[in-house]
Amino acid sequence: MSASKPNWWKASTCYQIWPASYKDSNGDGIGDIVGIISTIPYLKDLGIETIWLSPMYDSPQKDMGYDISNYQDVYPPYGTLADMDRLIKECHDLDMKLVLDLVINHTSDQHAWFLESRRNKTNQYADWYMWRDPKIIQGERHPPNNWASIFGGSAWEYCRERDQYYLHLFVKEQPDLNWENEETRRGIYESAMKFWLDKGIDGFRVDTANLYSKDTSYPDAPILVPGEPYQPAFKYFTNGPRMHEWLQEQRGILDKYGDVFMVGELPDTKADEVLRYISAKSREYSCVFDFDVVMLGQNKEGGSKKHHTHKHTLPHFKEAIRKVQGLLHGTDAWTTVFLENHDQGRSLSRFATDKAIHRDQAAKMLAVLMCCLTGTLFLYQGQEIGMYNHPEYWGIEDLRDIDSLNAYNDVMHRHKGDPLWLKKAMRGLQLVGRDNGRLPVQWDNSANAGFTSGKPWIRVHDDYEHVNVAAQQADPGSPLNFWKKIIRLRKKYADLMIFGKDFQVWDKFDQDVFTFTKVHPDGHERILVFLNFSDEDQPLHYPTGLESVQKELLVCNFEEPGKYLTPWEARVYLIREGVVNGG
Ligand code: TEU
Ligand code: CA
């Protein structure tokens, strides 16, 4: 891309849709593509320019569609290929883009490739997955090594037909594809990518975008969790030796389709390594989702320790944001801005407050934060109305996510059903469990929040009569209307808000307030942002030299900004003079 024609996806405001829980059009209790189509004008009005649709491919749904049995078809309850063609067309008619999920680290065990692969060691697909011989110890069969699956248990599953194990980094119904095999890679490019690019989609959100290349000597992982048979092995399968080679190869395919947006999911990666994926020169990914912010307070060892969570502090939150914004400092890279997705608890509950008295104010404050950060902005469905986590009194029977259920069952098993342990497990899931983001979108105050006229596949949040789209549309002071306003402001001041440089935090250790500045690429203007992350009034921490300069208030989530920041207040000032360094 030449400097005069910036990539379309940098300034695009994106919105993630989780099809099962978004909008049901036919009363079967499951969201669908026709339902999505019916809301495109709503999204357009909100200011959304790109939709990222989570997996709608055919799938046995062991992991909500991240286990794909056919890349070239749609999960029947979601609709048909014809519905997808219509969705693409309707988006494009309104000048919006559509991005699909690209899940190519693994397939479903019901994919035709795997069904064939598992039959014997000689078939055409025999080498398309990661097969290894058992380790025989004292005459007994064991997995090839001690790696743990990210979703609990061993990462290997035995297959009698081949007398071998196959690798699955996620659940056993998600066998890992063998990227080392060139034929496999070509099959993936044809079926998962070109098929949809030919239909006109504008890009992909790339699932587990740094896991394809493994250490194929498969060493045992060091013992990090004493006493456990299976050990976290991230360092042997994250950012592996051939990742960059394959992504370069893949870009060769994409280039035939123009400026295809590729936003990768990149957990567990240090800044210098992240830069290899996202530098404009390498063009491997357009940008990535860095996990430093959403992993705050979570156990990084893997799925079965969901109850070992804690509430992070504001300085940690600021530092995580600084790391991601810092990726752009003096580099040619680009990044993303997001606080939620389908794998995370709701941002209000995790990073702000979901107490009724402050909730709307806090939702608007987080909106200000996000809209003032540099990078491609992603909203997750329901975030625009301040949907928050399910209540603490919900039980395990209300949850559906395989990762959460595995984690709960693991605790149940280890502690023989001890009620205090189970309570701890539920408390962890209430904060970070994946179902929090997967509850039905609350459209109005009719039954089931207007999500479905039938029986919803997962419980609807109890508070839908207060928090819903229709009520917020009617209320000029609602989070929804605030989002609309601030998305437009972000576009208007794009140079500062979307593209601003030199992100700088001015109150690193303050536990209550987050103050930062960003500078116009030309250096002649900057924004000064104050965010109160507490239930109390707070003094303003002015950066040195900025207290008395002329400022223009661009936005505030409170009627009349006063001497102090009120609880959960956010203010953004535009300053046109004297950029000062230091911090
Ligand atoms: O997630 C990849 C991933 O690293 C997850 O382990 C994530 O950290 C975890 O879900 C947090 O609880 C992707 C998808 O986003 C996720 O929904 C899928 O389950 C997973 O890949 C397997 O495809
Ligand atoms: Ca439906």
CA distances from 343 to 54, 310, 373, 436 (A): 11, 17, 22, 9
CA angle (278 as vertex; 4, 46 as ends), nearest 5? 70
- Which atom belonging to ligand 1 lies closest to the Cα atom of 434? 12
State how beta strands 513-519 and 526-532 pair. antiparallel
Task: Find out whether the beta carbon of 208 lies less than 6 Å from any atom of ligand 1.
Answer: yes
Give the pLDDT score at 578: 62
| 582: phi then psi, degrees, rounded to nearest 5 | 110, 175
All residues at 6 or more sequence positions from 199 whose CB lies less than 8 Å from its CB, including other chains:
84, 85, 88
All residues at 6 or more sequence positions from 312 whose CB lies less than 8 Å from its CB, including other chains:
296, 297
Q: How many Å apart are CA 165 and CA 502, to the nearest integer?
A: 50
Task: Find out whether the beta carbon of 237 lies less than 6 Å from any atom of ligand 1.
Answer: no
Catalytic residue list: 207, 265
| Count of other CB atoms within 10 angstroms of residue 548 | 7
Residue 358's nearest CA partner among 560, 558, 555, 572 is: 558
Q: How many Å apart are CA 533 and CA 567, to the nearest integer?
A: 7
Ligand nearest to the CA of 209: 1
One digit per residue, the tens of pLDDT, for the chain of length 583 reads: 444 578 999 999 999 999 999 999 999 999 999 999 999 999 999 999 999 999 999 999 999 999 999 999 999 999 999 999 999 999 999 999 999 999 999 999 999 999 999 999 999 999 999 999 999 999 999 999 999 999 989 999 999 999 999 999 999 999 999 999 999 999 999 999 999 999 999 999 999 999 999 999 999 999 998 889 999 999 999 999 999 999 999 999 999 999 999 999 998 899 999 999 999 999 999 999 999 999 999 877 655 567 788 889 999 999 999 999 999 999 999 999 999 999 999 999 999 999 999 999 999 999 999 999 999 999 999 999 999 999 999 999 999 999 999 999 999 999 999 999 999 999 999 999 999 999 999 999 999 999 999 999 999 999 999 999 999 999 999 999 999 999 999 999 999 999 999 999 999 999 999 999 999 999 899 999 999 999 999 999 999 888 889 999 999 999 889 999 999 999 999 999 765 454 3
C-alpha 32 – ligand 2 centre gap (Å) = 5
User: What structural domains does the chain harbor?
Assistant: 13-105+182-397+434-480 (3.20.20.80), 112-167 (3.90.400.10), 500-575 (2.60.40.1180)
| 156: phi then psi, degrees, rounded to nearest 5 | -120, 145
Residue 417: both structure tokens together: 């059903």
Q: How many Å apart are CA 27 and CA 48, to the nearest integer?
A: 27
Q: Are 106 and 175 in contact (CB under 8 A)?
A: yes
Task: Find out whether the beta carbon of 343 lies less than 6 Å from any atom of ligand 1.
Answer: yes
Task: Find out whether the beta carbon of 58 lies less than 6 Å from any atom of ligand 1.
Answer: no
Give the pLDDT score at 3: 47
| Sign of torsion over alpha carbons 33, 37, 43, 48 | positive
**SS3 for 143?**
coil
Residue nearest to atom 2 of ligand 1 (CA): 208
Residue 520: both structure tokens together: 């116009």
Q: How many Å apart are CA 183 and CA 187, to the nearest integer?
A: 6
Task: Find out whether the beta carbon of 104 lies less than 6 Å from any atom of ligand 1.
Answer: no
Residue 211's nearest CA partner among 186, 187, 181, 176 is: 176
State how beta strands 97-102 and 50-53 pair. parallel
Give the pLDDT score at 582: 42
C-alpha 557 – ligand 2 centre gap (Å) = 37
| 167: phi then psi, degrees, rounded to nearest 5 | -85, 135
C-alpha 386 – ligand 1 centre gap (Å) = 23
C-alpha 287 – ligand 2 centre gap (Å) = 33
All residues at 6 or more sequence positions from 397 whose CB lies less than 8 Å from its CB, including other chains:
none
- What's the maximum distance between 2 C-alpha atoms anywhere in the chain? 80
- Which atom belonging to ligand 1 lies closest to the Cα atom of 403? 12
Q: How many Å apart are CA 387 and CA 468, to the nearest integer?
A: 8
Residue nearest to atom 1 of ligand 1 (CA): 208
The 8-class DSSP code of residue 343 comes to T
Give the pLDDT score at 309: 83
Residue 49 C-alpha from the chain's centroid: 18
Q: Taking the model in full, what pTM does it have? A: 0.97
Task: Find out whether the beta carbon of 61 lies less than 6 Å from any atom of ligand 1.
Answer: no
The tokens 């540099």 sit on which residue? Answer: 374
Q: How many Å apart are CA 303 and CA 149, to the nearest integer?
A: 8
